[in-house]
Structure 1
Amino acid sequence: MDVGQSVQAVRTAAGFGELLRVRRERIGLTQQCLADHATLSVRAIRDMESGRVRRPRNETVRLLADALRLEGRSRTDFEEAARRHPLGDEPVAEPAAPPVARGAIVGREMEAEVLADAFAVHGDRLVSLVGLGGVGKSRLALEVARRLHLAARWSVRWVACGGGSGGPGMPGMPGGSLPWRGPVEDLVREIGDRPALLVLDGADGGVDAGQLDGLFRHCPGLRVLITAREARPLPGGQVIPLAPLPVPAPELDAEPEALAQVGAVRLLLSHLSRLRPGYTLERSEAPAVAELCRHLDGLPGALERAAGWALVQSTAQLVARLAAVPLTLAAPPVVFGARGDVRDEVEPAIRNLTDRQRSLLDVLVDEPGDWSGEDAVVRSGWAPQACLETVYELLSRGLIRSVPARDGLRFTVLNLCRRLVREESGLRFAPAGDAPLLAVAG
């Protein structure tokens, strides 16, 4: 049997992954060397050779063929093997792709990796990503879908639920229809037992657990990612709160290089550089940039709006404007991103609190600096279990955030949340000290 017949026999028996390994070892490359030559990750090479990824995307195959220096019939056979079903000779259709993002994701790289691994490595089937409006849930879900589609060749079905009270209208099995064109039977038939990700974006009205189970039964390779403002636990599902981006500590204000590495600042600078080509963060402007990020709590939607106004106002002018009217940062007349006002991102979460949650929040908004769960118990006077449960609920709603600490978990209330609660409650504040920190006005 000649080399071509040998390679063809390997392809037929074991699929593309085995063919890739044979080709790599034939020219003496390690997985790391091949990854470097092909500008891919070594994990991608490992997943393809192990069979975890059986149908790599066309661009990946081209990069591999170039790195392996394949030409003529060898290259044709290699590319054809990547397009064929591992159990037969019929070419398979390209998996459905997610919507295309308008730009690179900034500041959420770690979260994207963790979520993608939750589905592809750890086998989670149902994950709910929850948090404030404008915190970046949809953008993160889009990045996770993109990674699973490109690296693992999963099909992606994206459903824009639109929030509100109506919910996504999940179907029964069989019959019914999801909120996209075509009956659900077509979706089940198309996915079959192959890996696929269903994203229900903005499912604020909830999802019917029984109907979702029907989809899982009919599609064993299906994974579901839900984004919503409020956690609605589902059987077998994981709820992941998404906090705003990290904001800079005041001691970084005079250090532009260190400041530019903080998540919220990175995102703001990425928007500014697109709107104002050639923009660089100068030492003189660094304190205003840092203060702007802190004022807006690192909320991606609010930072995007602020960057839009940077065409007509400096960052220092924006900070002064927000100091005068803290909750009225609307979108510019022409903007590439979020609409509405910064109040719209926080106020609904406060309005939907239970009496118990609002009662604890009213106590915590005036807790100076950061605090621990034990501090919240002491300040509220509540039983520890009830207090810590409520802290957890406020954290899942995005109204408080965890902060770095050496002595355990500590938290702080979002600046925008403080301002809204104080505005709504009509409170006046005494100077810090031994006296009570808040008192009812009037």
Structure 2
Amino acid sequence: MHSTAVAAAVPLAQEATRLGVLIRAHRLRIGLTQRELADLSTISVRAIRDLEQGKARRPRPDTLRLMADALRLGPRARASLEAAVQRGRATGAGWEQPPAPPTALHPMVGREAELAGLERELSSGAERLVHLVGLAGVGKTRLALAVAERLHAAGTPVLWHAFPGAEADHLGCPDGEPAARVAAAVAELLAPTTVPATAAATAPAAPAAAGSPSAVDALAELLGDQPVLLVLDGAAAGGARCDRLTVLLRACPGLRLLVTSDQPWEVPGERIFLLAPLEVPAAGAADATAPAVRLFLDHVRRVRPEFAPAAADLERAAWISRRLDGHPGALAAAASWLVVCDLPALCQSLGEDPAALLDHLGGRPGADGFRGVLRDRLERLSPAARELLEGLCGRSGDEFELAGITALTGGGLAESGRLLRELLISGAVRAAHEGGSSRFRVLGLVRAACPAAVAQPRTAAATAA
């Protein structure tokens, strides 16, 4: 049968498997079994079977070349195969219903600006890899859920992958074949590598063996060119494989990747989105509309539905929100104590030692939960950044500017800026940009919870001095 006749024999109803039909027709035309074609092409029998059955529609270029050589195809037949591959790329999974993100259990408070910015960047394609970074419990998962809900409502499929230990303040984690492909691809993306990040960013990915597509290739085949949001929630510390990440983003031009963790990957093209705690009322003010106060009162009402705050209660709620830096997880943990105490007693305890009431915030058994989470994060700082943090905790006054860091370290502007950026990314320091100036301060929770984690080991001579 001539190649054009083979192409014409493919019914329109089978367009999604056109590549498989063409390969099978050409194989039968020259009288080869799948095993014989595998031997001639050095492609596995399984890969050939998946292609013919339509389970795989996006073979690698070298796989397609080996297949065409073994089938002894001419230029026109090869062009038909390549066109079928392109159709497979555009078709992707062909969802009957776009996969949906998990369902949030509680409303989000005070993140309107962050939500609008992330939705705009991801939906427009202005950013394709956004990394939500912040201290544990600051609300990264909840914001990612809100972004995913917005994009899904606009018709974008959402694939959600939660790492072990990620906050599970939601219902309905996805499963099935898409989730399995995502999990396998994520394992490849985050596999350790000995290639330096700078070299991996420019070096091409090592090709998989012919007929043995990688998990990243399998996910790319599933997604095609269609718009998809892939959320990786609670990624562990460490970087992604730049080569494999590049392969996935290039193969799937409609893919948007949203990652949440406490540390960025620092890969090319990564948009680092620092998520700070919620805004708190000004000192001495009892503003019930401040996001941190609203969130605290919402948690109080879940614990005590009859609660109707008086003016004194609003003042205490504002003080608590300032004492806890507007940290959402800390506010929720503090409100949970109102089962056994009242607001005045809670304020007194938080004034003495806030970390003691927040031990269960870290999600760990034992008495060192919250402090352990903070300590682990701060111990990953560079020695110079830890030394700077110790100096900032020991100085008078809460706020400081970049000039104060240069005076404290004795270094230049570039070095001081690099250390300040490291502290900001760690979540130990938050920034305020008002009136064209930038001011910073160390979180009170960091000062109270982990003084030992900040302190640097000292020599006997340094201690004596």
TM-score normalised to the size of structure 1?
0.67
Q: 1:266 to 1:338 in 2, by over 3 A?
A: farther
Is the contact made by 1:305 and 1:338 (CA closer than 8 Å) also made in structure 2? no
Q: 1:103 to 1:378 in 2, by over 3 A?
A: same
Task: Give the superposition deviation at 1:158.
Answer: 1.0
Q: Which runs of 5+ in 2 are unaligned?
A: 1-89, 167-184, 190-204, 457-461
For 1:391, the aligned partner's letter is: L
Counterpart position of 2:23: none
Task: Give the superposition deviation at 1:321.
Answer: 1.6
Pairwise mapping of residues 58-77 of structure 1 onto structure 2 (< 5 A)? none
Higher helix share: 2
Is the contact made by 2:158 and 2:230 (CA closer than 8 Å) also made in structure 1? yes
Q: 1:382 to 1:276 in 2, by over 3 A?
A: same
Is the contact made by 2:130 and 2:259 (CA closer than 8 Å) also made in structure 1? yes
Pairwise mapping of residues 402-413 of structure 1 onto structure 2 (< 5 A)? 402-403=431-432, 405-406=434-435, 408-413=437-442
Counterpart position of 1:288: 316
TM-score normalised to the size of structure 2?
0.64
Counterpart position of 2:229: 197
Task: Give the superposition deviation at 1:229.
Answer: 0.7
Determine the C-alpha separation between the residues in 1 that align with 2:238 and 2:440: 29
RMSD (Å) for aligned C-alpha atoms: 3.1
Structure 2 residue 363 is matched with structure 1 residue 339? yes
Counterpart position of 2:258: 225
Task: Give the superposition deviation at 1:345.
Answer: 4.1
Which fold has the larger relative contact order, with Cα–Cα distance below 8 Å and residues 6 or more apart in sequence? 2
Task: Give the superposition deviation at 1:232.
Answer: 2.1
Q: Percent same amino acid at aligned positions?
A: 36
Counterpart position of 1:372: 401
Task: Give the superposition deviation at 1:404.
Answer: 5.1
Determine the C-alpha separation between the residues in 1 that align with 2:448 and 2:362: 21
Q: 1:168 to 1:358 in 2, by over 3 A?
A: farther
Determine the C-alpha separation between the residues in 2 that align with 1:209 and 1:186: 18
Counterpart position of 2:129: 126
SS at match of 1:250: coil
Task: Give the superposition deviation at 1:291.
Answer: 2.0
SS at match of 1:199: strand
**Equivalent of 1:301 in 329, 338, 348:** 329
Q: Give per-residue Cα distances to partners, 1:348-401, cap 9 Å, x unaligned.
A: 221111101011111111331211111221233222211111111111111111
Determine the C-alpha separation between the residues in 2 that align with 1:349 and 1:221: 34
For 2:146, the aligned partner's letter is: E
Determine the C-alpha separation between the residues in 1 that align with 2:330 and 2:289: 19
Pairwise mapping of residues 214-363 of structure 1 onto structure 2 (< 5 A)? 214-253=247-286, 259-330=287-358, 339-340=363-364, 341-363=369-391
Q: Give per-residue Cα distances to partners, 1:179-212, cap 9 Å, x unaligned.
A: xxxx655543332111101111111233222111
Q: Give per-residue Cα distances to partners, 1:239-274, cap 9 Å, x unaligned.
A: 111111112222213xxxxx1211211111111222
Equivalent residue pairs, number: 327
Of 261-270 and 202-211, more deviation after overlay is shown by: 202-211
SS at match of 1:342: helix
Pairwise mapping of residues 145-164 of structure 1 onto structure 2 (< 5 A)? 145-151=148-154, 153-162=155-164
SS at match of 2:160: strand
Pairwise mapping of residues 88-167 of structure 1 onto structure 2 (< 5 A)? 93-151=96-154, 153-162=155-164
SS at match of 2:272: strand
Task: Give the superposition deviation at 1:125.
Answer: 0.7
Q: Give per-residue Cα distances to partners, 1:137-183, cap 9 Å, x unaligned.
A: 111111111111112x111111112369xx95235886687xxxxx6
Q: Give per-residue Cα distances to partners, 1:71-103, cap 9 Å, x unaligned.
A: xxxxxxxxxxxxxxxx99xx9611100011102
Q: 1:168 to 1:291 in 2, by over 3 A?
A: farther
Q: 1:170 to 1:325 in 2, by over 3 A?
A: same
SS at match of 1:387: helix
For 1:262, the aligned partner's letter is: A
For 1:196, the aligned partner's letter is: V
Q: 1:209 to 1:274 in 2, by over 3 A?
A: same
For 1:199, the aligned partner's letter is: V
Determine the C-alpha separation between the residues in 2 that align with 1:236 and 1:147: 23
Q: Which runs of 5+ in 1 are unaligned?
A: 1-86, 178-182, 254-258, 428-438
Task: Give the superposition deviation at 1:408.
Answer: 0.4
**Equivalent of 1:169 in 163, 187, 192:** 187
SS at match of 1:239: strand
Is the contact made by 1:231 and 1:397 (CA closer than 8 Å) also made in structure 2? no
SS at match of 1:284: helix
Task: Give the superposition deviation at 1:123.
Answer: 2.6
Is the contact made by 1:156 and 1:198 (CA closer than 8 Å) also made in structure 2? yes
Determine the C-alpha separation between the residues in 1 that align with 2:273 and 2:403: 23
Task: Give the superposition deviation at 1:440.
Answer: 7.0
